[in-house]
Structure 1
Amino acid sequence: MNSLPHPASAPSNQSLDEFWMPFTANRQYKARPRLLESAEGMYYTDAEGRQVLDGTSGLWCCNAGHGRKEISEAVARQINKMDFAPTFQMGHPLAFELAERLTDITPEGLDRVFFTNSGSESVDTALKIALAYHRARGQGTRTRFIGRELGYHGVGFGGISVGGMVNNRKAFGAQLPGVDHLPHTLDLERNAFTRGLPKHGAELADHLEKIVTLHGAENIAAVIVEPMSGSAGVILPPQGYLKRLREIASKHGILLIFDEVITGYGRMGEPFAAQRWDVTPDIMTTAKGLTNGAIPMGAVFVNRDIHDALMHGPDHVIEFFHGYTYSGHPVAAAAALATLDIYQRDGLLTRARELEVYWQEALHSLQGLPNVIDIRNAGLVGAVHLASRDGAPGTRGYDVFESCYWEGDVMVRCTGDIIAMSPPLITEKTHIDQLVEALGKVIKRTQ
């Protein structure tokens, strides 16, 4: 274990005991807390006054960087004008305006929008839409879902059921019945240190045919995958893999759901990964970058045919018994509209393409450092995969993550022994240099 230059501390009058932190080793964190107090542009300022380069866009969400006045001002205007309006049997203009604006940048055909408050809610919404669609078409036997190993689809019971990260569900027991999982696409033996999409592994999509043979297509509602598995450590789709999934799903009448909570809103160099890799799903889940992380909000994009299949029966009857109190919240909608203005004005939805080669070469310059067994990248996202210590998996990754913060003044993300990075789309080459140089120095001295 590395020794840090100094322990951090909370403000003297600040108790850390009461907040049960999410996805955090609470006892470990509270023994040496990392407290962020303000943010602007590419940098956080912590409780000790240090500037820390944000190499993760907060949590994959602050794509336009921090402290965007346009967003905060839009939020302030809206909350002063109208703090809340229901969208159950009522409405407000911003939700409709936002839905229209969003469908200008979605893949063709995905032109119906259901608003949520998070990626987890977006996933559970998408799964329910899939079930309702098949039932509306007289195919109510289609109830099975197919996820993928190492997939992350949020923390609702639907999401953890189709997700493939076992720690997210093994403690909870109850899950959706009738869920299968495709094999993951991480293949270090054949694809280590690939620049961009790996060449080997498209055939793994054919496992979907085996599941269809096992259960019958008439019993399968949908297959859900992340175009790129972010939370598992930047696991990329092999060349041709997503197209093959699309072909098989279409052949058998199975809906294809892309979880673009991480890849959406410019991360891959197009508004959505579906456009970058030229594969259009039937349903697409998003959140995070929708409001630049400023206000919780998610959006599920649905093919019009799926939407229209539910628009039958008496006009006065609710077509889809699902929704959230805060669906299309006016303040969140104001934040999202301001965020879209920034993305489009500053060209951020495609900027990752401009930086991709520089980012790629900078990351791959770390090849050959001690314990680095793979480097992966696409768009403006990347990962450095470290060898695990014998009998202590995850500890090397955590030490690198913590030392980057305290010694390198950069914030990266660790998932096990994988260091993941996704800097804001406003990043400059100097920021990339700072991030990669700091990470390299830490890796060199981490045993």
Structure 2
Amino acid sequence: MAQENPPVLSGPALWSAQAHLPSVLGRQLTIERADGSYLYTTDGRRLFDGTAGLWHANVGHARPELADAAHDQMRRLETYHVFGRYLNDRAVALGERLAAMSPIEDPKVILNSGGSDAIDVACKLARRHWQREGREDKTMILSREFAYHGLHAYGTSIAGLDFNRTGYGTESLVPETARVSTDDIEAVERTVREIGPEHIAALVAEPVQGTGGVIVPAPGYLEGLQRICRENDILLIIDEVITGFGRTGHMFATERYGLTPDLITFAKGVTSGYAPLGGVLVAPHIWQPFYRDADDTPMFRHGATYSGHATACAVALRNLDILDEEKLVARVADLEQVLADELRVLGTRESVVETRVAGLLGGVALVDDINAEAVTDELVEHGFVTRPLRGNTVQISPPFITTDDELRGLVAAIAAVLTAHEGR
């Protein structure tokens, strides 16, 4: 007798992102509204957003100023593309604003729809740069172990989290990528020697690794990466998709760590997630050859339909105003001290291996017999949203408008859940 097909698992038509579906179907939380640092679900829960969404809700949720900026812009011009000879005024204004605040002096600004787009463009531009220079063997893109750079083809290919890179039939969707040590600069030097710097186009690095477990750079490590790149004609791409626009207590983490990269990718905090927008800041020695008034000047083919989307740019401009008006980057520096003090105490517990802090980025690495995903699930029942990260780590990255007491309450809730686990 032929076996009947197993029943299809019930659930919404929407295919959730980054989800092992059998593990989440039937217990998903649907957010219907938000206010400030709080989320409200369709089943009546009020939850403190301890992750600022996916690291992005820096100015808090549901701010009328940003809704008004989008409304006003859409009534004027929803968008117009920035291909060829066409521009729109909001994209031009945002480009000037970002260039003025950029850690890279006199940059050009490429705009697109998010962080994964930005990584794709930056890696392509790095290879295009060396081809234009006539150094055709420089095609390899290096990235760090435990790195996360989005999930477009290039981001998937340079992922330092193996589970994001495997299962597609080859070691790397885009060929010619390799990983380097995330904390050992001598090991990085060995890898560069083994591959040969004449083959390496660029090295991509998050200043603070986010999804990899909130890994703060070892003293001298980022400076070492920069030195290796300079000594070997390797472009340094700093991925500030998470850290840009204040998350580390500086407008850019590049400034916090004293770096001078060739390219910086950004997204998330440029609009605080109110509109999908990202981009790349490009140093003069990369962009100038594409701007020469000469018959043989090359073209860099980049751009998507929504590159420089006028409404997204209007939202970004208003978001940057709010960061300035409310002095939220300085506020992050204050909250870093509160978080560091709280995690210092939490770190003494038997269930905690290590705590990590950089600005309003925190991670609590747990012992192996206490599962971080179980802890984050239980925290929802206490009224707090957090996420499990690589390394059995609990993420802490609330909005910049968070109060000292809310931040202490989040850490206290983690402690309460850990107490329950330690007693089992």
Q: Where on the TM-score scale, by shorter chain, does this alignment land: which range?
A: over 0.9
Give the one of 375, 390, 398 matched to 1:400.
375
Helix, strand or coil at the partner of 2:353 = strand
* 1:3 alignment partner in structure 2: none
1:101 equivalent in structure 2: 97
Q: Write the distance in 1 (CA, Å) between the matches of 2:251 and 2:374.
A: 34
Q: 2:67 aligns with which of 72, 76, 101?
A: 72
**What displacement does 1:318 show?**
6.8
1:125 aligns with 2:113: no
Deviates more, 1:368-377 or 1:274-283: 368-377
Q: 2:385 aligns with which of 407, 411, 415?
A: 411
Contact 2:238/2:263 (8 A) holds in 1: yes
Under a length normalisation based on structure 2, what TM-score does the superposition of the two structures give? Answer: 0.93
Query: Secondary structure at 1:104's aligned position in 2?
Result: helix
CA displacement at 1:17 relative to structure 2? 2.7
Aligned-residue RMSD, C-alpha = 1.7
Partner amino acid, structure 2, of 1:442: V
Any idea what the Cα deviations from partners look like across 1:306-346, whole Å, max 9, x if unmatched? 01122247579772112111000011101101101101111
Name the counterpart of 1:163: 159
Q: Secondary structure at the match of 1:131?
A: helix
Identity of aligned residues (%): 34
- Aligned pairs for 1:143-162 (under 5 A) are 143-162=139-158
* Aligned equivalent of 1:351: 331
Single out whichever of 408-417 and 270-279 deviates more from structure 2: 408-417
Structure 1: gaps of 5 or more residues: 1-14, 186-203, 390-394
Instruction: Indicate which of 170, 180, 184 corresponds to 1:182.
Output: 180
**Secondary structure of 2:408's partner?**
helix
**8 Å contact from structure 1 (residues 110, 282) kept in 2:** no
Determine if the alignment matches structure 1 residue 287 to structure 2 residue 287: no
1:298-317 equivalent positions in 2, closer than 5 A: 298-312=278-292, 314=294
Deviating runs (4+, > 3 A) in structure 1? 312-318
Which of 53, 66, 82 aligns to 1:87? It is: 82
Tell me if the contact between 1:110 and 1:301 (Cα under 8 Å) persists in the aligned partners.
Answer: no
Aligned residues: 409
Q: Secondary structure at the match of 1:285?
A: strand
Structure 1 residue aligned with 2:209: 229
Pairing 1:327–2:307 present: yes
Which residue does 2:348 correspond to in 1? 368
TM-score (norm 1): 0.88
CA contact (8 A) 1:56 1:422 kept: yes
Structure 1 match to 2:5: none
Structure 2: runs of 5+ lacking an equivalent: 1-9
Secondary structure of the 2:178 match is strand
Mapped to 2, the partners of 1:409 and 1:110 lie a distance apart of 46
Matching of residues 191-340 of structure 1 within 5 Å: 204-312=184-292, 314=294, 319-340=299-320
Deviation string 1:214-269 (CA, Å, 9 cap, x unpaired) is 23222210011111110011011011111111111111111001111111110100
1:125-167 Cα offsets, whole Å, 9 max, x none, are 0001101111222222211111111000111121122121011
CA contact (8 A) 1:312 1:319 kept: no
Give the Cα separation in 1 of the matches to 2:149 and 2:102.
20
Please say if 1:116 is aligned against 2:112: yes
Which residue number in structure 2 is paired with residue 57 of structure 1?
Answer: 52
The 8 Å contact of residues 286 and 299 in structure 1, kept in 2 or not, is answered as yes
Distance 2:191 2:389 in 1: 29
Q: Does 1:20 align with 2:26?
A: no
Cα pair 1:54 1:411 within 8 Å, conserved: yes
Contact 1:270/1:349 (8 A) holds in 2: yes
- Mark the CA change 1:114 to 1:375 in structure 2 (over 3 Å): closer, same or farther: same
Conserved 8 A contact 2:104-2:282: no
Distance between the aligned counterparts of 2:417 and 2:189, measured in 1?
45
Which sits farther off after the overlay, 291-300 or 19-28?
Answer: 19-28
- Does the aligned pair in 1 maintain the 2:148–2:211 contact within 8 Å? yes
The amino acid across from 1:419 in the alignment is V
Query: What residue identity is the alignment partner of 2:95?
Result: A
Q: Is the 8 A contact 1:56 1:412 kept in 2?
A: yes
Amino acid at match of 2:351: N
